[in-house]
Structures are given as C-alpha cells and as structure tokens.
Amino acid sequence: MIAALIERIVGARLVIGLLLAAAVFASVNAIRTAPLDAIPDISDPQVIVYAKWPRSPQLLESEVTEPVIKALIGSPEIRSIRATSHMGYSFIYVIARSTAQRAAVRQLVTDRLNAIRQQLPADATVSVGPNASGIGWIYEYALIDNEKLRDPRELRLLNDNQIKPALQTLPGIAEVASVGGLEKQYQLKVFPPLLADAGLSLRQVVDALRSALDEAGGRTIEVTNRDY
C-alpha cells in the first residue's frame, strides 16, 4: 500500500509540486498578515465586580460579597466565581465558560446586581469593571506641571475632563484609569461640643445632610385631564 502511494506521488510530481508551492506561499502570506501579540492574553474570560464599602473585611464579606455571589450562582454561562474581601473593598471574579460568552455573562452580572441592589447597604458602591483582561494595561502617562502653576487637584480635573474623555473615544480602549492627584470633594467637620450646645446628635446631622443631597426623578401625572 505504501509502495503504491509512493508510485502515485512520483507519477504526479507536477501536481504535488504545485500544491507544495501553494502551501508555502499561503504560509508566508499568513506569517506576514497574521496579527501578532507580544503578550498573548491567556487569562480566563472573566467579568470583575468591584465593591467598595468602608467596613471591615468580615462585614463586607457577609453584607456585600456573599449576597452578590448567591445571586450569580447557578447561571449556566458561569463556570466559577472567585472573591476576595479586604478592608473597605472587595473583588468578585466571575469566570465565563468561553470567551464568546463574556458579553452575555457581563450583561447577566449587570442584571443580577440591579435586581439585588435594594438588599445591599445603601452606602455601598458595587460596579462592574471594564471589559478588559488583567494584562490589558498598555500605556501609562503622567501630567507634570514644570512651571508649578497648577496644584494636584487642577491636574486631576484636567485629566478627567479633557484628556481622559478624548482617550476613551479611541478604538480598542476599554478604560482609562486615573491614579493620583486630588479629587474634588466637600468635607463637613463636626465638633461635638458645638453639637451638644445646639442640642443635636450626630445622627441628625448625617440624616439632614443625606436628605439635602438626595436626588429623585420626576414625571408628569394626569388627573382629570390636567397634568401635574
């Protein structure tokens, strides 16, 4: 059988030569045109949930991390769930079964978080991370004011309001993360002796401040052919 196969190959030398030349040409063309990655992404297809709550790791684990995990367990698109809790923040890694299911898992995670949001602490921040892998950090830049005309707060505002939005519109950019600088914030300093003189408790001050900063949407209500 092998001898007969060799005889047929020898008899069709021209055809074999043409096929070999076509294979070599296709290989060279594939090497020239194939996209190459210096650092291939071999990480698991995952969706990261970031929870921030200024509490101890044990309390954060029981009040935030565990309810989120319980809401996600049992989904057929999810292969496994990993989580870690630290002082004030936690990470939940949702591993998809395949890369093709990452978008579906991301939408599932978003829907489940919206469904259980009322069960989580009101002052806890739970968000879904960017659609990127752990090795997606490709570039780092810094804003330096050599003339010393701007403070760190102004540099942070310049980056967040002008540079960051422009970079996020570029194709292939999943997220631009800001590190450093000073974020604009308002601080309320409370002096217990003054509260005691005014007859107020700290809880009353916190509730008044929270109610003053709350926002609620409005809509039109039609009653007896009138809009209110």
Domain 46-128 class in CATH: alpha beta
Mean per-residue pLDDT for 30-57?
79
CB 65, CB 92: distance < 8 Å: yes
Per-state percent for the chain, helix, strand, coil, to nearest 5: 45, 15, 40
Cβ neighbours of residue 57 closer than 8 Å, sequence gap 6 or more: 85, 86, 87, 90
Q: Which whole-number Å values give the CA distances from 101 to 74, 94, 130, 202, in the listed order?
A: 15, 12, 16, 49
Secondary structure (3-state) at 72: helix
Window from 25-34, 63-72, 87-96 with minimum mean pLDDT: 25-34
Interval 177-196: pLDDT, tens: 777 777 777 888 888 899 88
First-to-last CA distance in the chain?
92
Q: What is the pLDDT of residue 216?
A: 62
When comparing pLDDT for 179 and 79, which is higher?
79
Q: Which residues in 147-206 belong to E strands, given as ranges? A: none
Q: What percent of the chain has pLDDT over 90?
A: 14
| Burial of 224 from C-beta contacts in 10 A (0-12 / 13-18 / 19+) | exposed
pLDDT digits (tens, 9 = 90+) for 128-149: 887 766 566 677 888 988 888 8
> Starting at the edge strand that comes first in sequence, how are the strands of the sheet with 78-85 ordered?
78-85, 89-96, 46-52, 125-128
Does 41 have pLDDT greater than 70?
Answer: no
Q: Where are the domains of the chain?
A: 2-33, 46-128, 138-208
pLDDT at 181: 79
Residue 122 reports pLDDT greater than 70? yes
**Residue carrying structure tokens 């509490």:** 55
Q: What are phi and psi of 58, to 5 degrees?
A: -65, -45
| Total residues belonging to the chain | 228
